[in-house]
Structure 1
Amino acid sequence: MVWGPAAIRPQRQTDYRFFPSTTPIVIDNGSSHFRIGWAGESDPRITFRNIVQRPRHRSTGETVTMVGDQDPALMKYFDCTRSSCRSPFDSNVVYQFDTMEYILDYGFERLGVDGSEVDHPILMTECVYNPVSSRCRMSELLFETYGVPSIAFGVDSAFSYKYNQHHGFCNEDGFTICTGLSASHVIPFVSGEPVFGACCRTNVGGYNITEYLRQLLSLKYPYHMSNITFEKSEDLKTEHCYVALNYAEELQLFQDGTRKAEEKYRYWQLPWIPPPQEEMPSEEEIARKAALREKQGQRLREMAAAKKISKIAELEKELNGLDFLLRQLENVEEGDIPSFLSDTKYHSKQEVASAVGKVSQILRKAKGEPAEVEDSYEPSLEEKYPLINIPDNMLTPDQLKEKKKQIFMKTTTEGRLRAKQRHIDEKLQRDRENEQEEEKRIENPELYLEKLHAKYKEISEKLGQRKRMKLNGNGGNGNNNTPGSVGRGERLNAAQKERMRLLTTAAYDRGKGEDTFGAKDEDWQLYKLMSKDNDDDERDLDEAELSRITLRLQTIDPNFAAISDALSTDPPRFQPHTADDFKIVLGVERFRCPEILFQPCMVGFSQAGLDEMIGVSLRRLDTKNTDLKDRICNSILVTGGGCLFPGICPRLEVGIRPQLRFLSPLKVTLASNPTLDAWRGAALCAASSQFHIQTFTKHDYYEKGEDWVRQYQFKYDLATSEPV
């Protein structure tokens, strides 16, 4: 088995053989961290996260086992895509003992154990009301795999309370509020011993706070989700989160946006590289670029000159061919000219002469010579297409084909000429309208601009209303329908309604009530009526007019151009990122996330909060001794890694006070070290001279069975304890 990179592993202890076999080993097996050390010492020797990961090495493909956190700089050599961090815990109960064995192997190896035998008693922490099956399998693992001589189990929060009691932070009668990674407990203590029958539990802990913070930031900054990892959220929670004394008032403070709220904002700047600034080029660089442009320009000019020479050669060749054809036509009789020109694209001698003139002008223009004005003869369509007017019975089959071709070409030419003339007429009409509008503008500019704006507004509203009616209906039937609940009939415009009317009444147009549609040819004329929809044409005309007015206003009114740019629906242009785009702002998230300890319903848990759990535990004590309840509430200890938030003790006092009698004593104290006090209390109990009577051996386990393990309970007040 290969462990993680040696550079980040905890240092291996070398004094294991110097401890006698009667010295217990203390293990705080928390769902977040694993701590192991010797009884009587102030701090654990080895501490690491209680997780296991088994990635593959990228170069060798070998599977390695990594326990605890790993150095991110070394993780690039391993493929972690198919392996995730595994914990032996489900909530705060051990259930994956294969993973637990890896963790124990690593802990004992780092402590200095040689081989697989551990010849020291073990004191291990567990959760409140740990299931008997989990305790039995843990005992079997320690006895069978490691050969441990004896074992003892105790509740971590009870050890923390006893440690703080030993140092005078709390009394014999009191409460301990322990907030762990995935659960929180409240345990009352009477005469120094925990009363587990009156304890209370909520499945909310530090993990839920971190995950809630990660979700809030991911929703707030979706473009930075890859940077908002669970580990970074854990760091942000530890550094910046706090518990509000009054949650509603704190929310109102941030909503008002006062200066006091601004002072509570915290900022996390993500890595950001500013875009490079454009530097002014030097004179040498400018000269170099100018020379390069000149070289490229010279090359383009040479290419253009070569292309011009090639074009002139082609035109001269074409002109010589036309001249030769024209000289040949002088020796051809007039009636034989059409047959002589059948293989060319020309039909008469005049067309050839006209082509000679056009090519000559193009050639002179290409050579840069002044063009000569010549009267070019343009043949008529009858002369250009002579076969059109000849009857079909006088033509050969080939001439009939040519006649069809000439008819098609004549029709196309006429249509092109009509379209050209129509465009010329429209252009002239637009020029006259522009001249008239310009005269109106010069005559009264203010009135002209006012009317133009009014017309722009009218057409815009008309188009917008038509679009709304098309999508949501006109709403004129008095049903008060919402836009999402209109029917098909409400979404139809006038032309569509007319088509629907024609279609639905077609079968009854004769008043007979019989469906005889289609029996007569005139019935099919209905579709011609249905196809008449002028709404689209009207919309196109309105849009064209709106575009013309918009262009006109942008030309004569500079303020309109600014407004149109501001109201434009075009996507914004790309703006370079700044440092503010990579800044994560922590505002209400600072106190909103820890608030789930007092209001678990915020994350979907229908359970009691920490302050309410005190009242539940008091009712479960089932005693009418008010003095005892007052003594217990006068010594409330807050411990666990999930309670390290500023303001948690005052908030607990505010929440617990309404559940007590009037003027009852109340004191909430934070543990001296909420994360280490559980191990220190266990080490203190394991160092007691009467610890050996609290343990049970492998022989006891196999002789007495699971029922005895179920009844086993550690005595925390060792001065008065008796053998179990």
Structure 2
Amino acid sequence: MPSLATRPERQTDYRRFSPAIPIIIDNGGFNFRIGWAGESDPRITFRNLVYRPRHKATGETVTIVGDHDPVLLKYFDCTRSSYRSAFDSNVVYQFEIMEYVLDYGFDRLGVEDSPVDHPILMTECICNPISSRSKMAELLFETYGVPSLAFGVDAAFAYKFNQQHGICSEDGLAICSGFATSHVIPFVEGEPVLEACCRTNVGGYHVTDYLKQLLSLNYPYHISSITWEKAEELKLEHCYVAYDYAAELQLFQKGTKEAEEKTRCWQLPWIPPSQEDAPSEEELARKAALKEKQGQRLRDIAAAKKFTRISELEHKLHGLEDLVQQLDEVEDEEMYSILSVTDYNSKQEIESAVHRVTQSLRKARGEPCESEEKVDASLSEKYPLISIPDDMLTPEQLKEKKKQIFLKTTSEGRLRAKQKKFKEELLREKQNQEDEEKRLENPELYLEQTRVKYRELCERVDQRKRLKTNGNGNSSGGVGRGERLNSVQKERMRLLTTAAFDRGKGEDTFGARDEDWQLYKLMSRDNDDDDDSLDEDETELSRVTTRLQEIDPEFVAKSDLAALQGTLEFTRLRPLTAEDFKINLGIERFRCPEILFQPSMVGVDQAGLDEMTGVSLRRLSSKDDAVKNRMCNSIIVLGGSSLFPGLDSRLEAGIRQIRPYLSPLKVVRSLNPVLDAWRGAAAYATSMQFSTQTFSIQDYYEKGESGLKQYQIKYSL
């Protein structure tokens, strides 16, 4: 929120001022200004904020008041500290923070030690609560020991300052739009009429925050660059108040040339990508040689790994063969003692291991492997109890026979799966070899045939999936149920209908004969056939898809197309340019300041500036029309938020709509909407009668809060 600005230097002429010269403090919600009475400008101005960053080296927390200093950023981590203000809207309520601000303000002014032996004139908001004024008086009297104190409304001092320069008259209206709130204050004979004042909780802070929100929504990729400080800068530089908001909005919606001229651009930092020249032939040759060198290195590594693998398998095979030969030469008693020191339980297991290692060795050398049938050809030898009838076995042998049956069944199933997989691999390799031969003969014809085959397989798989999913349900359109069922489902329906018809003839005896259960076998086989055909098509589709991905660089699989379409809008298909880092301010230029006239745009159900003027005039029921006409003929605009171009003309147009026909009306801007409050207070404190308007420390100890409640200065001295 605070901008990067140079911190104010400490004044050195504090001792030159007489104790009778008052110190002027303009305690605003945005800036804190302090100086001497009679001077034209304040000595010290800084942001009315406090933050507590940590030292980067020691981690110690310090309290810093006011603006950021670029020098402090080298030593303190200011990014993780939150800023705190003593104000709630425009009323001081955090006096611990206010004490830090006053300490810093008096130190910058040159006060070396307490007490502060000068009278103080401090500004406050209109109708400031007595509790806030009492706490502020307690802080100044008891902490700083000031001799006397005076409170005055900042807008009233600014109005009197402009009155002295002939900008406004004694009877008039002050429309003050500040940082957090906006006020309308009527003046009669130079004095504010407090009971006729009006206030709205919308000010410059809300305009800046609204602009930041709109830009963040329109440009979410640059939200880190749209900080509060930058939004404040853009507001002060580009925003304006539209004379007719609806007409201005239509102008931008139509996209006319005038709207383009009113649009402003903010160019974010952007570094163009470096333009690389096309590589030369020498560079291409160097890269090709490097690529070939890397490929040869990978091939050498693969060859070394293959040689190591073959050596390990040969060594293991020789060991197993020696172990088998040793078992052949010894008796059965010695065989068990030899097996006890190995990981095998029988000679058959060692022979199976020899076969497996032999197969692995053949595969590592690239030789064709033997059929898996030879590997487990001795299953009957491994499970001898299976062929023996049960009546010839003992109970323990029966248990062992069941175990061997289970092991044999599992081994046979595993063997069949291996054989099936082996055959599928051989078939796939054969098909790939035939496809490669066709491709080499005519690449274009082969590619087109493969694409056609891919589309046919996709349609066939999708149709089978639809029939399987929706075959028994209702579908839209005029297709009958018989047309939606495939041949397998029709046969299954026929079998079920035949069984139901046979049951309806008489007694239900279904299941009494073995032939009845053939119905379930037929239905199950048909279903399996249907699933098997679907699996075959999906396998072939997967093979064709892989083949197309290898030979067709433009091919995109159907399964990847949906995901690609879902992420297509997030895919950046072009390099970033300066246009991508440009933020346009069009409607936002006048839409944000419009909340001063329509606070409901940001959720504040209160009146705007022009409507508040009418409310204040209606509250002056005791005044006649002549006084109101004189007041409307002297309307002055104050405050930092009144700097928007077009604000005074918009106010005049809005107030004219609520005033009688041909009644006098004049809206002017103050000499300096930001500094007039401090300058008016500094001029007020130079009057000889100023000492009669102060609240002394003796009055504070004698009267206390009740005296402050009745205290009210007179602005027309």
- Regarding TM over 0.5, the answer is yes
Corresponding position: 1:571 with 2:567: yes
Deviation at 1:283, TM superposition (A): 8.7
- Equivalent AA in structure 2 for residue 70 of structure 1: H
2:414 corresponds in structure 1 to 412
2:493 corresponds in structure 1 to none
- Look up the SS of the partner of 2:146 in the other structure: coil
CA–CA distance in structure 1, aligned partners of residues 432 and 360 of structure 2: 35
Aligned residues: 638
More moved, 617-626 vs 604-613: 617-626
- Look up the SS of the partner of 1:569 in the other structure: helix
- Look up the SS of the partner of 1:568 in the other structure: helix
Deviation at 1:218, TM superposition (A): 2.8
1:431–1:202 CA distance, 2 compared to 1 (3 A): same
1:126–1:309 CA distance, 2 compared to 1 (3 A): closer
CA–CA distance in structure 1, aligned partners of residues 553 and 298 of structure 2: 41
Deviations 1:653-683 (A, max 9, x none): 1211110001122211111110000011111
1:682 corresponds in structure 2 to 681
The answer (yes or no) to whether the contact 1:182–1:206 under 8 Å persists in 2 is yes
Corresponding position: 1:625 with 2:624: yes
| Gaps in structure 1 of 5+ consecutive residues | 1-6, 332-340, 434-440, 477-494, 496-521, 719-724
More moved, 460-469 vs 664-673: 460-469
1:343 corresponds in structure 2 to 347
Selected match of 1:216 from 200, 214, 217: 214
- Look up the SS of the partner of 1:128 in the other structure: coil
2:594 corresponds in structure 1 to 595
The answer (yes or no) to whether the contact 1:322–1:356 under 8 Å persists in 2 is no
Deviation at 1:35, TM superposition (A): 1.1
Query: How do 1:248-263 and structure 2 match up within 5 A?
Result: 248-263=246-261
2:101 corresponds in structure 1 to 103
1:533–1:588 CA distance, 2 compared to 1 (3 A): farther
1:210–1:466 CA distance, 2 compared to 1 (3 A): farther
Deviation at 1:120, TM superposition (A): 2.4
Deviations 1:323-351 (A, max 9, x none): 999999999xxxxxxxxx97257989xx9
Deviations 1:344-393 (A, max 9, x none): 57989xx99x9999999889x77xxxx9x99x999789965455897314
More moved, 570-579 vs 256-265: 570-579
- Equivalent AA in structure 1 for residue 40 of structure 2: S
Deviation at 1:30, TM superposition (A): 1.1
- Look up the SS of the partner of 1:11 in the other structure: coil
Selected match of 2:196 from 195, 198, 206: 198
Superposition CA RMSD, Å: 5.6
1:289–1:558 CA distance, 2 compared to 1 (3 A): closer
The answer (yes or no) to whether the contact 2:317–2:358 under 8 Å persists in 1 is no
More moved, 59-68 vs 674-683: 59-68
1:558–1:658 CA distance, 2 compared to 1 (3 A): farther
- Equivalent AA in structure 2 for residue 184 of structure 1: S
1:171 corresponds in structure 2 to 169
1:308–1:64 CA distance, 2 compared to 1 (3 A): closer
Selected match of 2:145 from 147, 156, 161: 147
1:85 corresponds in structure 2 to 83
Deviation at 1:649, TM superposition (A): 1.0
More moved, 283-292 vs 132-141: 283-292
More moved, 704-713 vs 553-562: 553-562
CA–CA distance in structure 2, aligned partners of residues 475 and 346 of structure 1: 62
Identity of aligned residues (%): 58
The answer (yes or no) to whether the contact 1:323–1:356 under 8 Å persists in 2 is no
2:234 corresponds in structure 1 to 236
Deviation at 1:639, TM superposition (A): 0.7
- Look up the SS of the partner of 1:59 in the other structure: coil
The answer (yes or no) to whether the contact 1:319–1:359 under 8 Å persists in 2 is no
- Look up the SS of the partner of 2:158 in the other structure: helix
CA–CA distance in structure 2, aligned partners of residues 315 and 112 of structure 1: 92
Query: How do 1:646-685 and structure 2 match up within 5 A?
Result: 646-685=645-684
More moved, 246-255 vs 163-172: 246-255
The answer (yes or no) to whether the contact 2:177–2:183 under 8 Å persists in 1 is yes
Selected match of 1:126 from 124, 127, 134: 124
1:599–1:406 CA distance, 2 compared to 1 (3 A): same
Corresponding position: 1:266 with 2:268: no
1:391 corresponds in structure 2 to 387
- Equivalent AA in structure 2 for residue 653 of structure 1: E
Deviations 1:574-601 (A, max 9, x none): 6655444443332322222211111111
Deviations 1:258-300 (A, max 9, x none): 3322233333333444555556678997787677666655655
- Look up the SS of the partner of 1:175 in the other structure: strand
Deviations 1:192-250 (A, max 9, x none): 22211111111111112222222223333334433333222222221222112222222
More moved, 171-180 vs 206-215: 206-215
- Equivalent AA in structure 1 for residue 170 of structure 2: E
Under a length normalisation based on structure 1, what TM-score does the superposition of the two structures give? 0.71
The answer (yes or no) to whether the contact 1:204–1:596 under 8 Å persists in 2 is yes
- Look up the SS of the partner of 2:34 in the other structure: strand
Deviation at 1:144, TM superposition (A): 2.7
- Equivalent AA in structure 1 for residue 713 of structure 2: F
CA–CA distance in structure 2, aligned partners of residues 451 and 382 of structure 1: 40
- Look up the SS of the partner of 1:690 in the other structure: helix
Query: How do 1:486-505 and structure 2 match up within 5 A?
Result: none
Deviation at 1:68, TM superposition (A): 1.0
Deviation at 1:88, TM superposition (A): 2.0
